[in-house]
Structure 1
């Protein structure tokens, strides 16, 4: 199946040789989207996939930077082979490519090689002539016209020329049905009694970015409140679900409370994203941990909200000291973003909306198959695989089966050899590379015999097409050897 025949998603791939500023271009485009977890530097440095909202257009941005290419013997490939593999993997799902080059170095033979691969793939392409930091640099951009694509002088570090570049990129994105317009995503607000859920919902519905649907009978006291984040055809539609306070089952002493608890638990099961509201004065209680475990058990996207932060600050509490304590008490929720808010003053309520929206996107992200497998290549080389009865686990390849939760099937020699610590490590590796903040990840194992030598392609020769069979051919050697 050729690239032209493959149905393309709304994916923009950034490609190019090393050290031309691909990451800077990626960060500049992705910067239009607020980072949703951890403000400290370095956390998102190696991110390969981000959802971006640019001029009311939502799309997935894929960066090829940071992918280490290895051959079947575990050695670094030649630069040419590595570049070819990176570009093939990035283009397999892309609707349009941004080829990043360096104006200060001029046209490099590898630039021409990447351009040739892109032309052969049939994927539309625009050239970002990067590092045009000064006006005099723009004259050198014309040299890149020989690559055969429209070119745009840019300086990603200084945000120069990015608007013109993206104006040329966006028309190549295919029209996509907005599934949330037909079936809105459900956001359940849960927590212990008196954590401030109702106050948060009341404040949320007055926030700037939230548009509450004008539906007859819909009021702030409704159980289900439709609302929209963003505008245009790609706006995401939600239904906000209010729930009763979730007390410990042993503390529930009447039929009404039992029904309320049951309804809250059912709301979690039916939700796409669950917002767990916490009280900073009490800290994460045993009941908070039970609710978090319920969210995790049902494999739901999650956001932690530390409400009443105005009162906490009056008592001298700080975010830098509070978050580590919370993470220590609830280590199983370390992948979940935490937002400190005050429903009373409105502090960080707008940010909480953006985080909910971003987590909803993360729960539905589709990982490029080539990058998924190459991430596993790196991960398997950083850990000793478990063994059982003298048999060591061998991973052949992996495919993504679905979203919400992100479900990955890994084909191995014997699923019984896999252990929970090994699965947890592979999950952390996926999060390190792709983010997936707040999104549940499930790894499943299936037995599969390793391809016989000579009957399958090798890591050196097999091109990436994005199909599972091609991944098996190209990567089984890398993952096993």
Structure 2
């Protein structure tokens, strides 16, 4: 399941960024004793009690501020609140309740989101009684903390984790294939979904960033259940001007995490960009099944070698994802759109494929006979035994005499031999190299 999202909100200068950095375990946000320093949401991954989550830092909320920067910060915070599963509302325990705190509390109550009230700067005994004043906000029981001195953070995070969805809870059954369409803005993700569905169920516009959230569309075709997850496009950080597009990055990443198969949609006219490579890298790191779909193929001037040249360029730019099948489609004309679900089915099966241990060891033993590992420091790698330990993605444990002797190039060679024998198209392969027990 996707990681829960936690937003830290409050008026300016109550210690939100300090708390964010404490939880994240490193200095990510700028921390200055000046209101308005954090002007954008900044996000990071964090973990508590074995639960990983995405945390969003926000600029200070000033509900009635007329200043343009404060207005932008307010909108950023509102978007973070819309995104979050849990909200940490930070107040200043030394200063007491302010009119702005009251307004922020009123805004949070209207969201029906789960809110935890963190009373910050309770760093000495004399401030502890100040906590009781914050019951007047009507948000619930305040938790006294000191982000600066790292006091009370464990109690705060205990309460945060309690509000997360239970691990293992799935929105869809195990037989449903969850497919995320990801890519830069305006490459045609929503148009592809509409063509697949044969009806206008997702808003389509030629304005980049129209899809502002991850939209689930469950449907059934040929007896197979699917969920298509349409996501807002991701852009390079320097090119994100609209605050909503910043918010879309988090939703896109969590959509990848939720999926079984990811379809990376590339603009046929533009080709592979640096941002496409980054999105593909996240798909690969998360171990998802992968399909590369080149859209707008009808707009590309072609000869009999164009498609092969294009494939070669994709394999060059996305060399780490050479296992992903490449399709050329046009959402506008419907060209090859009908083949996408066939490819999704195929990749999903490959992603979940399990190989018998005997067959696996036969292939690896033959690979070793054809190409012996090199000698390092007078010692040679000796592969003792191999077995597949999990699927989605396929993961293999290889027991050797010394894991230090397994060179990455030989690991890649073994991967190629396994793919040659069993396929595993459209899915990354993971290796766990283990030393023999003593």
TM-score range, shorter chain: 0.5 to 0.7
Match of 1:220 in 2: 202
Q: Deviations over 1:426-465 (max 9, x none)?
A: 1111111111111111011111169xxxxxxxxxxxxxxx
Match of 1:14 in 2: none
Q: Identify which of 273, 277, 287 aligns with 1:299.
A: 287
Asked if the contact 1:180–1:238 (Cα under 8 Å) also holds between the matched residues in 2, the reply is no
Match of 2:254 in 1: 266
Deviation at 1:181, TM superposition (A): 4.7
SS at match of 1:310: helix
1:314/1:421 CA distance change after superposition, 3 Å: closer
Consecutive unaligned residues in structure 2, runs of 5 or more: 1-170, 204-213
Match of 1:171 in 2: none
Q: Identify which of 288, 291, 295 aligns with 2:276.
A: 288
1:160-199 equivalent positions in 2, closer than 5 A: 181-182=173-174, 184-199=176-191
Match of 1:206 in 2: 198
Mapped pair 1:366 → 2:354:
yes
The separation in 2 between residues aligned to 1:402 and 1:377, in whole angstroms, is: 21
Mapped pair 1:425 → 2:413:
yes
Moved more, 308-317 or 408-417: 308-317
1:403/1:425 CA distance change after superposition, 3 Å: same
Deviation at 1:317, TM superposition (A): 7.2
The structure number with the bigger radius of gyration is 2
What is the Cα-based RMSD across aligned positions, in Å? 2.3
The separation in 1 between residues aligned to 2:433 and 2:197, in whole angstroms, is: 43
The separation in 1 between residues aligned to 2:333 and 2:226, in whole angstroms, is: 24
Match of 1:253 in 2: 241
Consecutive unaligned residues in structure 1, runs of 5 or more: 1-178, 208-217, 451-481
Q: Deviations over 1:114-147 (max 9, x none)?
A: xxxxxxxxxxxxxxxxxxxxxxxxxxxxxxxxxx
The separation in 1 between residues aligned to 2:420 and 2:276, in whole angstroms, is: 26
Q: Deviations over 1:167-215 (max 9, x none)?
A: xxxxxxxxxxxx97555221100011111111111111129xxxxxxxx
Q: Identify which of 368, 385, 406 aligns with 2:373.
A: 385
Match of 2:229 in 1: 241
1:71-86 equivalent positions in 2, closer than 5 A: none
SS at match of 2:370: coil
Deviation at 1:325, TM superposition (A): 2.2
SS at match of 1:436: coil
- Per the normalisation by structure 2, the TM-score is 0.56
Q: How many residues align?
A: 258
SS at match of 2:300: helix
1:377/1:317 CA distance change after superposition, 3 Å: closer
Match of 1:348 in 2: 336
Asked if the contact 1:229–1:357 (Cα under 8 Å) also holds between the matched residues in 2, the reply is no
Asked if the contact 1:386–1:418 (Cα under 8 Å) also holds between the matched residues in 2, the reply is no
Q: Identify which of 267, 271, 281 aligns with 1:279.
A: 267
SS at match of 2:310: helix
The separation in 1 between residues aligned to 2:177 and 2:408, in whole angstroms, is: 31
The separation in 2 between residues aligned to 1:250 and 1:383, in whole angstroms, is: 47
Q: Identify which of 218, 224, 230 aligns with 2:222.
A: 230
- Per the normalisation by structure 1, the TM-score is 0.51
Match of 1:39 in 2: none
